[in-house]
Amino acid sequence: MRLSGVRTVFAALFPLVLLAACGSAGTDAPPPSVLDGIAVSGTTKAPTVTFKTKPLSVKATTTKVITAGKGAKLSKSNTIAFNYTFFNAKDGKQIETSFGKGTVRLDLSSTNLMKGLGKGLTGQLVGSRLLVAIPPADAFGAQGSAQAGVGPTDTIVFLIDVVSAGKSLTTATGAAVPPKAGLPTATVVGAKPANITVPKTGAPTKLVVQPLIKGAGPVVRSGQTIKVNYTGVLWKDGKKFDASGDHGAPVDIQIGTGKVIPGWDKGLVGQTVGSRILLVVPPADGYGAKGSPPIGAKDTMVFVVDILAAT
């Protein structure tokens, strides 16, 4: 089941930046001045990056702090919201940018994270503007990336603004909320798909938003990217049609901006991180009159959603 346009990290570059490189990094770290050949100017919303030295290459991932932040130090347990511009250092050509499009989210604990991004960001401070130069061994490996136009010997460079950071939960945690009579019930064990029992009654005709656990984390705001575990079943027979646990990991979605079905936007904005939310979603707040197989045009969906992080 698709939640309609689930946003991926780095948008179209998701397969590139999350692709773990083969091999190991070089052992001869270049001097910090290697990135002095790049000038950064412009505004925080529309930076300008000029390569005064071309081609530029490094043997080991190198980070230069352009502007030091005042926030917490990043660790592998963090998820971050950030803006970036991505270049091929061979010719200074820009490959992709998020500036002007909205922040994106990155989980520094991901085993699939590009090695150089993990090295370049860990230990830096929230609020910082950074240049991160990454050699092939810490990026796309000896194969390079034809999609990004990066050759097997090309160094890549990121300009990164670290906007915020948080730590992801592994399951909902907080105060239990007594369920209302007549609603589906759920049993959840860790990140496994929830066991949802649907009552043998007619489905509600309006969206139902019922917290099962009230988390103590920050309130989810429209436009944020949230990490969730979820399970979805059909009201008519209780059959599961999708669950994040079946795919091996939580999912990241941008909430409140029409990237997911209306029932999720309406039901999850305003909740708190750590919460477990029961959503009963009628067709009007789901996939509408057309449905989305295996979900029919008249099917009401039931979700149990754990909100693990928001950035």
Reported as a single tens digit per residue, the pLDDT across 154-198 is: 999 999 999 999 888 899 999 999 889 999 999 999 889 999 999
Q: What is the pLDDT of residue 305?
A: 98
The model's pTM is 0.65
Domain boundary among 167, 196, 217: 167
161 and 191 housed in the same domain: no
152 and 178 housed in the same domain: no
Q: What is the pLDDT of residue 166?
A: 81
Q: Which residues of 229-239 are buried (b: 16+ CB within 10 A; e: fewer)?
A: bbbbbbbeeee
154 and 302 housed in the same domain: no
Residue 77 near residue 169, CB atoms below 8 Å: no
Helix (H, G, I), strand (E, B) or coil at 86: strand
Q: What is the pLDDT of residue 9?
A: 28
Tokens of 250: 């939580």
161 and 269 housed in the same domain: no
Omega of the bond leading into 179 within 30 degrees of 0 (cis) = no
Tokens of 22: 């083969």
Domain boundary among 148, 167, 186: 167
36 and 156 housed in the same domain: yes
Show the domain range for 252: 174-310
303 and 179 housed in the same domain: yes
CA distances from 43 to 47, 159, 198 (A): 5, 13, 53
Below-50 pLDDT ranges, the chain: 1-2, 4-27, 29-30
